A and B are shown apart, each in its own frame.
Chain A
């Protein structure tokens, strides 16, 4: 299946700061999905990106699909404690998941 690299693996953020997590592929993607998994929880669908250069926003979350459709990013502004969890990107019809970025927040 499709291989995607997610960086960073861990992100320790001061409450109120911004951060970005990245998902990179060596091949062109048809689409990319993002999921969030809270500690002890299950993955929850956040968004799907399909078009080259697409940007979508959900409140403090901004998702972007690269022009070449080989990478994607998730940017969170003004991080809150509710943002704690692991963020996964997923690709391909088999929904291959990246390794995830685990986010912790310092109050």
Chain B
């Protein structure tokens, strides 16, 4: 029954590896997001998709590639992981690009060693 679900919840991997995080929402929302939260709790938007189209692409290394196969799913693939990529990654969704009340997933804690 989880509205926005992310997998995996925890991810520990070595530098240089490639990894993916998956997100699914069952709210019928048309817009999905990836946020990165660093160790100081600062939340920064990375990407946003509206009806499978990329609408926000912040200054993010091109090692990060989002993919939205349909409007209920938004995945994040990260190539050549670096130590600085360690953070909590949150997926979120809303109805419309100026959504009222974003719904966040429970997060994926990525640790690069």
Residues of A within 8 A of B (CB): 1, 30, 33, 35, 37, 41-45, 48, 86, 88, 90, 93-97, 99-100, 102
CB distance from B80 to the nearest CB of A (A): 26
CB distance from B30 to the nearest CB of A (A): 14
Tell yes or no: B101 within 8 A of A by CB.
Answer: yes
Whole-angstrom CA separation of A44 from B101 in the bound complex: 9
The 4 closest A-B pairs by CB, nearest first: A45-B101, A97-B43, A42-B104, A93-B98
Given A94-B48, A94-B56, A43 contacting B43 (CB threshold 8 A)? yes
Tell yes or no: B66 within 8 A of A by CB.
Answer: no
Whole-angstrom CA separation of A72 from B106 in the bound complex: 27
What are 21 A-B pairs at a CB distance below 8 A?
Answer: A1-B58, A30-B98, A33-B101, A35-B102, A42-B105, A42-B106, A42-B107, A43-B102, A44-B104, A45-B102, A48-B101, A88-B43, A94-B45, A94-B48, A94-B58, A95-B33, A97-B42, A99-B41, A99-B42, A100-B42, A100-B43
